[in-house]
A and B are shown apart, each in its own frame.
Chain A
Amino acid sequence: QVRLVESGGGVVQPGRSLRLSCAASGFSFSNYDMHWVRQAPGKGLEWVAIISYDGSNKYYADFVKGRFTISRDNSKNTLFLQMNSLRAEDTAVFYCTKGYGSYYFDDWGQGTLVTVSS
């Protein structure tokens, strides 16, 4: 079955960087668009970024403003999110999600918590 396992979260000071990873298994990773979605503690869902199945197209939420970069390594079935210039408001659980068609999300990892605090 589909398995998505995020890692790389932790506590980081404002202005610093963090790189998240998502290891995928149980499906043909290279055939699917992949997304990052985040959820601040006790809050709603917020889409962050998408990368197309072959890595050729990437789109970001407006609030990213050039700070985050999504990438993937299809040879290793792994999705990444490089986050720079982190702010307190970036504190959230970050989920990697598999695209359902071009417009939705189906399978989700359990998430990795990023806490931005001095």
Chain B
Amino acid sequence: EIVLTQSPGTLSLSPGERATLSCRASQSVTNSYLAWYQQKPGQTPRLLIYDASSRATDIPDRFSGSGSGTDFTLTISRMEPEDFAVYYCQQFGSSKWTFGQGTKVEIK
């Protein structure tokens, strides 16, 4: 089973700043089947990015994903007030789906 490790655990930023979130896999992720989700308190997760770099429907272009193999990055170019949340990466491989432990992006 592939283990995903996200860093940092918590990221403190001000609105307007750039956010860079990392997701590292214990083995190469098959065909870059990697996604990013946003979860706000009391809400269900929302798909942001799939296939490592494709934005999901209605996701603003300030969200971008990159990476391949074992190293993936979610970038939020300029933090908006509504972007402060927990972000999870997720991968598929060998008929198993796994999530990272999450990165909390909080207001500085």
Q: List residues of chain A with CB under 8 Å of any chain B CB.
A: 35, 44-47, 50, 59, 61-62, 95, 100-106, 108-111
Contacts and interface: CB of A to CB of B under 8 A. Distances in A.
Interface of B: 1, 33, 35, 37, 39, 44-45, 47, 50, 56, 88, 90, 92, 95-102
Nearest to B90: A104
B50 A35 contact: no
B50 A103 contact: yes
Nearest to A103: B92
Report, nearest first, the 9 A-B pairs whose CB atoms are least far apart: A108-B44, A103-B92, A47-B97, A59-B95, A45-B99, A103-B33, A44-B102, A104-B35, A44-B101
Given A100-B50, A104-B50, A106-B47, A45 B92 contact: no
Given A44-B88, A45-B88, A106 B56 contact: yes
